[in-house]
Amino acid sequence: MPSPASSRPPTLDEVAERARVSRTVASRVINNGPNVSRAKRDAVEKAIRELGFTPNRSARALATRQTGVVVLAVTGDGPEVFADPFFAQLIVGASAALEKTDLHLMLSLITSGHGRQRLRNFLQTRGADGVMLVATRGVEPLVDIVERSGLPTVFIGLPKDGTPPYYIDVDNAGGSRAATEYLLRGGRRRIAVITGPPDTAVGRERHRGFVEALRLAGLEPYATEAGDFLEPSGAEAMRVLLGTHPDLDAVVVANDNMAAGALRVLRAAGRTVPGDVALVGFDDLPVAEHTDPKLTTVHQPVQALGREAARILVELLDGGQPASSVLPTRLVVRASA
- Predicted confidence at residue 127, as pLDDT, reads 82
Question: Is the Cβ–Cβ distance between 329 and 256 less than 8 Å?
Answer: no
- Predicted confidence at residue 64, as pLDDT, reads 47
- Predicted confidence at residue 227, as pLDDT, reads 95
The DSSP-derived string for 189-227 is -SEEEEE--TTSHHHHHHHHHHHHHHHHTT---SEEEE-
List strand residue ranges (DSSP E) for 100-210, in order: 104-110, 130-134, 153-156, 167-170, 191-195
- Predicted confidence at residue 248, as pLDDT, reads 97
- Tell me, what DSSP letter sits at residue 19? H
Would you tell me which CATH number, out of the four given (3.90.1150.10, 3.30.70.100, 1.10.287.1080, 3.40.50.2300), belongs to the domain 69-170+303-327?
3.40.50.2300
pLDDT in tens, the chain (337 residues): 444 445 567 887 888 899 998 876 787 787 666 667 888 889 988 998 888 887 654 444 444 446 788 999 887 665 556 667 888 899 999 999 998 888 899 988 877 778 788 888 888 877 888 999 987 665 567 777 887 888 889 999 988 777 888 999 999 999 999 999 999 999 999 999 999 998 888 999 999 999 999 999 999 999 999 999 989 999 999 999 999 999 999 999 999 999 999 999 999 999 999 999 999 999 999 999 999 999 999 999 999 999 999 999 998 887 788 899 999 999 999 999 9
Per-domain residue ranges of the chain: 12-55, 69-170+303-327, 172-301
- Predicted confidence at residue 294, as pLDDT, reads 97
| Count of C-beta atoms within a 10 Å radius of residue 321 | 9
Taking the C-alpha atoms of residue 193 and residue 252, their distance in angstroms, rounded to an integer, is: 5
Taking the C-alpha atoms of residue 74 and residue 92, their distance in angstroms, rounded to an integer, is: 15
- Predicted confidence at residue 35, as pLDDT, reads 66
Taking the C-alpha atoms of residue 127 and residue 145, their distance in angstroms, rounded to an integer, is: 14
- Predicted confidence at residue 147, as pLDDT, reads 79
- Predicted confidence at residue 57, as pLDDT, reads 47
Residue 65: Cβ-neighbour burial (10 angstroms; 0-12, 13-18, 19+): exposed
Same fold, 12-55 and 172-301: no
Question: 172-301, what's its fold?
Answer: Rossmann fold (3.40.50)
Question: 12-55, what's its fold?
Answer: 434 Repressor (Amino-terminal Domain) (1.10.260)
- Predicted confidence at residue 2, as pLDDT, reads 45
Global confidence as pTM: 0.77
